[in-house]
Amino acid sequence: MPSLHPSLSLGPVSLDAVSTAEALLTRPEYQRTTISIVDCSTPIPFSDHNTRTSVPTTASLDSSRIIRADYSSPFYAALAAAASARWRSSPLFSPHYHGSGVALTCTPSDPPTAGEKYVQASLANVRALESTSSDIEILSSSVDIQRVMQPAGGSYGSNGYVNSASGWADASGAMEALREHVHELGLAHRGFRWVKGTVAALTYSSLSKLASRVTGARLASGVQLTADLTVLAAGAWSGKYLNLQGRVQATAQTVAYVQLEPDEAREWARTPVLLHTSSGFFLIPPTPDNVLKIARHSHGWLNEIQIPHPEPPSAQLVDESGHSSSTESFIRTSLPAADFATLPPSSIGPLRDFLAACVPSLVPRLAEPSLFSATRVCWYADTPTGDFLVDYAPQYGRSLFVATGGSGHAFKFLPVLGEKVVERMTKSASARCAQNGKAVGEDLWRWRETLGELGGDDSRGGEKGLKWGDEKWN
């Protein structure tokens, strides 16, 4: 086996990096492989489980994330159902899972909106899955939605369904558990290293004037890491290390938290997650710490900046398919902004309106400056189609593998994602083909030569084309 860096976690605590490392460490064929993972966040292990360690710059470290098999894509629905089964049964993940159910709702119109079509397709897919078909209740009116949302007492949308086999997970707790599990596996793996530091850049060697290979990474400290295979799993920061224009861009998403009184939280904990696909708004029931979360799965805000081109000129000229690319010294891309706590001013009113509709008893508190106990900007690694990018970068042969583009919905796959990344890495995935000229299965995660504008799936809402710099900040 070659020396292998399965994950260079270039942004803090990438779920792709940690889950891939876990999959590699559990495979006997990699026992003689040198495996390193770079992490610029809290050192391993997490020894004090009573102290919540959180890195707010990382999307996967959060109070709660939705776990659902409710997808309009049959491929994602089946994969999410497999992941959900592990969330419920795995000793590693089940302590962090809450089976509240998920209400998927929409606001119908004529002709049907994308959000309405998403609900209809998702319903058909979960009904086709034997593991979830008996867990569905149809919601035919806003009164039905209000009933299942009791005792919160509100409603959003006018039809849909509730899937009692879905729910939510303590995302930070699950990530902490997985990281500690990886650390424990690594103790029994002679070649495993957990490297504390921040990656400054990938490193390259020139094979010719027209070809290069990735040889590893250089840390901000100056330390050089070398590998036969480097895996770029940097989430929303991926575009800092590789030119991913038209493939992956960071988009800002808005999240707010409401601290409830203990009696309120106990009462509302029985409500399901609510996801309104016509607008992208969603609500997750209170955590054990009595925190209610609301957010919007939107088209987001781009923070477009100019950065030095991260790749050498030889790699910019031509890839193995013969396509030429830019030889400019600088590129424009969207990367996370420095402030992860202050929401775009234009997003606050719609979040308050959504909260008022879902939880009417909180209306008297809407005018209070302290309504939100915390706010957060969550940066997605967005792709044009909302599909992940899990493939070799063709201009570097088999020296650089990219695992990014979670597009705001990768976390729910945490129990199975690493296995799928390693299958793609070893070219053993079973669904790498096309039907009627369209990608199917995991081939949806391929490196695409045809670039596109960000769009995502049909469960998103809000305005397209928003720019972080256009907001009227106070």
Residues 15 and 233: their CA atoms lie apart, in Å, by 8
Residues 139 and 106: their CA atoms lie apart, in Å, by 10
Classify 400 as helix, strand or coil: strand
Residue 209 has a pLDDT of: 61
For residue 307, the Cα-to-chain-centroid distance in whole angstroms is 24
Answer yes or no: are the C-beta atoms of 191 and 170 closer than 8 Å: no
Kindly state the tokens that stand for 199: 């990656």
Phi and psi, residue 259, nearest 5°: -80, 120
Residues 385 and 153: their CA atoms lie apart, in Å, by 35
Residues 268 and 228: their CA atoms lie apart, in Å, by 52
Answer yes or no: are the C-beta atoms of 153 and 274 closer than 8 Å: no
Residues 412 and 469: their CA atoms lie apart, in Å, by 31
How many other C-beta atoms lie within 10 A of the C-beta of residue 269? 17
**Residues facing 219 on adjacent strands:** 199
Answer yes or no: are the C-beta atoms of 144 and 121 closer than 8 Å: no
Residue 210 has a pLDDT of: 59
pLDDT in tens, the chain (474 residues): 445 555 444 344 578 888 999 999 999 888 888 888 888 764 433 333 333 334 356 667 788 999 999 999 999 999 999 999 999 999 999 999 999 999 999 999 888 889 999 999 999 999 998 767 778 999 999 999 999 998 877 889 999 999 999 999 999 899 989 989 999 999 888 888 888 888 999 999 876 665 689 999 999 999 999 898 999 999 999 999 999 999 999 999 999 999 999 998 988 888 999 999 999 999 999 999 999 999 999 999 999 999 999 998 755 544 445 454 555 789 999 999 988 889 999 999 999 999 999 999 899 988 888 899 999 999 999 999 999 999 999 989 889 999 999 999 999 999 999 999 999 988 744 444 444 445 556 789 999 877 777 777 888 999 999 999 999 887
Residues 148 and 160: their CA atoms lie apart, in Å, by 11
Classify 213 as helix, strand or coil: strand
Residues 466 and 65: their CA atoms lie apart, in Å, by 24
Residue among 354, 385, 389 nearest 372 (CA): 354
Distances (CA, A) of 383 to 234, 238, 287, 447: 14, 12, 30, 11
Residue 52 has a pLDDT of: 37
**Confidence (pTM):** 0.90
Residue among 133, 134, 159 nearest 144 (CA): 159
**Per-residue b/e over 160-183, b at no fewer than 16 CB within 10 Å?**
bbbbbbbbbbbbbbbbbbbbbbbb
Residue among 98, 72, 460, 104 nearest 275 (CA): 104
Residue 329 has a pLDDT of: 87
Cα dihedral across residues 458, 464, 465, 468: positive or negative: negative
Cα dihedral across residues 412, 345, 274, 388: positive or negative: negative
Long-range CB contact pairs, 373-376, < 8 A, 24+: 373/257, 373/258, 373/259, 373/291, 374/256, 374/257, 374/341, 375/254, 375/255, 375/256, 375/257, 375/341, 375/342, 375/343, 376/56, 376/62, 376/255, 376/256, 376/257, 376/340, 376/341
First to last CA, the chain: 55
Residues 233 and 222: their CA atoms lie apart, in Å, by 20
Residues 202 and 214: their CA atoms lie apart, in Å, by 7
